[in-house]
Chains A and B, each alone.
Chain A
């Protein structure tokens, strides 16, 4: 029974152990909590769960979350493309610094990022008096929530695109220009198609995070029910009120939104598999 193993093959025991560990880990830390969320949402029955979602404060929270994401995600897609374009295709002084700066939101605690906005725009902040004079509300209002969301989710698109664009180099853009294409035509016909999958992935991650952000938004929101509570904040409020199944019902919806984005991404990848592989293997 001592069949020699192929030199490149690991012992089956090693393979099984590794697979089991990976699956176990995913099951325990990713799948199980999701299942619990959906299970507990139905603790008081489906009608109660649906009612929790249809209740006015919940609807306001859903609308606020979707609005904030609908503003923050396109902004970050544009900023992300611009920043990665500049970093990957041009040489300029302070490039290294810009790359570090892009990572800042990942390294700074979201609560701190939220506080920064309060310090700048809050009533006691640098711009507070001026803003109050001109009747502009940023903190404890939609603009503040959007700003905090933009800040926290900024790196997703840029992080996805910088390595991709750096790897692709400038050759194709130079070729396009020498063939007579304008800057805009070069971007639309050459750059954008080459990065579209990376961009889509970045946008989906950015969106998932934008809808789920808690810390930074919590600081700037002011927690006014039905007005400045986003879905995550609403869930927390419900939970703190001991309305567990309502909390889990809204949480399920939030989780569903995230799952939908992932499914969407997989579907697109599956549908365009050939084109994606053509874009990568040159």
Chain B
């Protein structure tokens, strides 16, 4: 039932964005895709979400031949970097969208949809804001609406593209802890993209370091720090962690340097 990505390749006209990406993550994993800008993180995530087609390769998830399923039937909850909320709909309508577009036979009754929206609003701690438009929310609130909207379809997996990229440090920190808690509670297989080392190591129980369309190394944070497989991984993690305000991470790095 795990997520298995095998030799996925993707070219954009004159540029190879993914040059054979393979990785494996167990069901319910919190997988962080970490890498510098342009390394192909978003491309891989969009392929998982069905928003982009892979040229080559294979993905299986939950026992399904994942890439052959059309995007709209995949039930992959995608949270976009710029949120992509429907600007002309209220928060409640945004969240209800995935339920309301279901074919008549599978669509919940109106009252049921309303109840689910309320439930999700309270899950993302936005009770009472259902009547607002996205333009009337702060960045952090929009982020949580985007998440609630993705969760409404009861996704099989959750895909987050730099979920905290546009937020200030303090809100980032808060949402990070909250997201971790949510993942623990829901147990959804989650893939999230970030170029922030600290964020990847703190949140992910698996971290895949990407560089120029390849995966340099994948493993739990501790392994990456203590046994970087390539000079790139070592360099990419070291600088950031040495400066990290997180004492746990810093002491890990220090312990390794002394060794």
Contacts and interface: CB of A to CB of B under 8 A. Distances in A.
B72 interface: yes
Nearest to A196: B88
B101 A189 contact: yes
Contacts of B82: 171
Given A175-B78, A278-B133, A278-B135, A180 B102 contact: yes
A282 interface: yes
Interface string A159-175: 00000000000011011
Contacts, number: 78
Contacts of B84: 171-172, 174-175
Contact of B87 (A178, A181, A278): A278
Contacts of B152: 179
Nearest to A276: B88
B101 A182 contact: yes
Interface residues of B, number: 31
Contacts of A241: none
Nearest to B51: A174
A176 B49 contact: no
Contacts of B77: 178
A148 B253 CA distance: 75
A174 B72 contact: no
Contacts of B80: 171, 174-175
Contacts of B133: 278
Interface of B: 49-51, 71-78, 80, 82, 84-89, 97-98, 101-102, 133-136, 149-150, 152-153
18 contacts: A172-B85, A174-B51, A175-B80, A176-B86, A178-B77, A178-B150, A179-B101, A180-B73, A180-B75, A180-B98, A181-B97, A181-B98, A182-B72, A193-B88, A278-B136, A279-B87, A282-B85, A282-B134
6 tightest A-B contacts by CB? A171-B84, A179-B98, A181-B101, A175-B84, A178-B78, A193-B88
